[in-house]
Structure 1
Amino acid sequence: MAFHQVRDEVTCSICTDIYTDPVTLTCGHSYCRACITRTLDTQEEEEREYSCPECLQRFRRKPELKRNRKLCNIADLFVPSEPVQKKAGVPCTYCVEYPVPAKKTCLHCEASLCHNHLMVHSQSEEHVLTEPTSSIENRKCSIHKRVLGYYCLEDTVYICVSCLLAEEHRGHQVETLNEVTVKKKVKLRNILEKLTSEMEEAEKRLQSLLEQKQHMQDKVARVSEKVTALIVGSRQQLGDLQEQVLCEVSLQEEQISLRVSDLIRQLEMKKEELSRKMGHIEELCNTTDPLTVLQGCESDSADYCESEEKKHGDRERVDKNLQGLDDLDVTWISSKVYTGLAAIVTELKRQLDITDNPGKFLEFSRFSDMFPDINVLQDANVNTHSVSDMLLGVNVGSGIALVINLASDILLDVSTVGNNVTLSGDLTTASWSEISMSRPQTPERFQVSQVLSSRSFSSGRHYFEVEGSESGEWIIGMAYRSIDREGGQSYIGNNNKSWGLWRWDENQYYMRHDLKVIPLPQKPSSQKFALYLDYEAGHLLFYELCEPSRQLHTFTATFTEPLHVAFWIGRRGKVKFRSKEY
């Protein structure tokens, strides 16, 4: 291989010079460390993305620069074996034969030095060395033309040693540039730490938002798929119903048409017979022979004139056949259409599985953007409306209504709260209080640490969510307002007027009603729960809000009074209503 070809292999494509501290990118191309660093910094400032200058491969992050030891050893063989033509950087002041990049600049000598000249340069303190620069004047005092080596804290200016001795700065607090730099770097590092922390927090929030967006997109895709399947299935069923009804209409039309054709044929034959008789009579009337007329009339008189009874009978038969020729069996058609639509609605309800399966009700209620809250009402005399009305939760009058009614406006009743319970300002949270509130005693107020909701439920289906504390003791449930206000029988679940979920002794959970205690076989993993009440059906269901939601227990009863949400708060306990945030 020729010498110039080997040299090309160790030449940086950015500065076109022999590699200096060569590094290699992940794409395989190599550059001087200073050249590629400067290029990447420029890309970050101008384009905000990174790419290899040669192959233009893009990098999502700033690429790591790995030192290429082999190239470094090879490149050392070529320095300075032949003139170097540098196209970038500050050249050495003393290399007059050909430009060599400077390693440092001496502010005292006002000269830039390459590696070789730097080795023989003076090491005295007055020879201040900096990174290579061509703007030396900016680093010297404009008055005394000496190197700026100090910083006046009172005048906030950089000064030289002559300025330090001058009257203008005499007695001022002054620090060396190194001292100021150290302090400045400390501040910069503190700022960098804060910015790094903010960056990490921003990345976490961004990742969380991206995950939420993906979760919502997945949920929308699943719901869209279900809705599309329902609509397509409904269209198919409607098409089949339309085909059946139209087929029946065509059959009735064919039957009526056959009857009409038969009557038309009979009347045409009657018309021909009458025409023949009329012609014969006219012929007799035109005959001049009396005997012929008399004999012809006597022999055919029975044929010429029908009896009144026969004519009346024929007329009645024809009129009877004509009756109903223009009528379809609309009653049957209406019944068929109604029955078919009712069957489609029933199938949709089964697939939505809302009324028959409260668990599915809970699942649908959590799709709050599409199905807000669910309370299905059904009348026996249903006037079927469009499926879209049902899905959108529109009340369709006396028909089926998908009225979504989540009990999100429940507040706690201050008049019932016990003295060892504190309520939040928005009346949605009840907490244990070691100090008695000394509230006035009234017939409505509990003498134990319990509270009822101000709103009651006496009909329909309702759904709401609550959250208990991770520590302490509490009971969540429902109760009649007629529940006792004092004594052991007043606690939720200790009577036949209340039903509840009891958290006891930190990690034990029970269902309570009428002094009956049922331990939960599996400890809930979450302290978030949902209650679903079907008042008419007599069902009160408790769910754990986890993924997926898990049914804990179902109480069955014949409710005879309006029900209130009820909380009992034990030591260190707290219970609150959950807002609708899905």
Structure 2
Amino acid sequence: MASGSESRELECMICLKLFTDPTTIPCGHSYCIECIKTFRQSQINKYNKYSCPQCKDPLGKEPELKKNTTLCALVELSKTAEPKQPLSPTASEDGTHHSQCDICNPERATATCLTSNMSYCCKHVETHYENGHLKSHKHRNVIEAVCETGGEYQCVDCVAAHPACLYSSVQGEFDKKKETLKRKLESVTSAIQTTEENLAKRSKEKREIEQSAARINESLSREFAELRQVLEEREKAALSAVRSSQKAASSRVSQIIHGLSSAQDALQRKKSELELVNVKDFFEFLRTDLPETEESSLAVDEESTALIQEEGSAVKDAIADLKDDVQSKLDNAIKAIKQTQTEGFANLTFDPNTAHKRLALSEGNRRVTVKQNNRTDSCMQERFTISQVMASTGFSEGCHYWEVNTRLSKGWAIGIAYQRLGRADKLGRNALSWCVEWSRSRFSAWHDSVEVRLPQGELSGIGVHLKCDEGKVSFYAVSVSETLLHTFDVQFSEPVFPVFWLFGLDKGSALSFVEP
């Protein structure tokens, strides 16, 4: 006859009876085939559908279950032994709530294992402690208290063993943490709602800008097309007028040419007649009448040529005046558009009195660079003791925008802060500053030591849009187009200054302001 301990080894941990068609799963534990199938398919297994009920070893893909013939034979040999009756479940005397057994739900649990996070009824708790893999787990009673000193969860036996400690109920801690979770969810939900509203507002604003630009482009294209049409019509009219003048002048000149040709012929005849006059006979020559000649027929009419040249010069002068006028007016209009685009673009410089001793300023204090041996007065009270620098200009009202080139820096933070920011305070790690940063291949927004991870990667430029009156500061990725990265909603109580942080102090690392 098998002993009690040997009989226990042949019992299924789920049904607590001798194995029926036992099977062994990959972790080495054995169960009845139907029991382990039912356990997998039930909702009792709330931790992992494909894990061992005893050791919680994940089984991955559901294994094929095969009968363990050796265990079948041992079960047959032990059937003559008296089966050990399992303990009856212990009812709660004070009516307090207990969790259900994770093995044989809905039996009430009488003990909880904090190591495996499993609850057991009185039947399965003994098996839990006798199992070699689990016997090191503690707490034989239900966890009911939390030590306020060490934060450990304790059963009634542990509470009795440590009378000097202060305890609170698990239910109370549960309710307290649940309330904290509720507040955090409400805060995050509110933040999400605010962000969604801002996104919707900015998306609408972007669509309106795009639609307005499209309308303006269409109008400009139409106006230029009409202008080109007018110029083409005037060109055709001018060319036609020149051609008409040319025809009229050519006609007049042709007539003159014809007249001159006729005059030439007549003159040739006169010449011939004059050449025939006899000059040898003195008295005969004196008696001969010489032919008459017309001096006026020798004149050349240049009036038509001068007239057409004058008309052509007048058209050319009119075109030149029109060209200058159109170019001047268009240049002024384009300049006005550019001025509208850069309205509020802050012309910032770095404050040399606040720069860390290893930060050097150049290009009119519009560029800050890490130098290994920078000669500066490190004793100035305004100077940061970490690699930060503040801008010279602060803002308390209105809208302002500036851009920073980050191409030459592997790690940086760009933001704003009150001027009273401590000279050892890191940007974004306190209630006085707000920033975005790129560090360790991670992009984040920071305020009061709270980090918000952002999905973007490394950027070549950052744009900052500060709206003091609305209490908003927005950060944009600057490239071909602007992409909103993050917006802080702040009720500013005093002027804020742009602040910059260069990480790592790598020689040559630099940030610079972009020209408007």
Q: TM-score, normalised by structure 1?
A: 0.34
Q: TM-score, normalised by structure 2?
A: 0.37
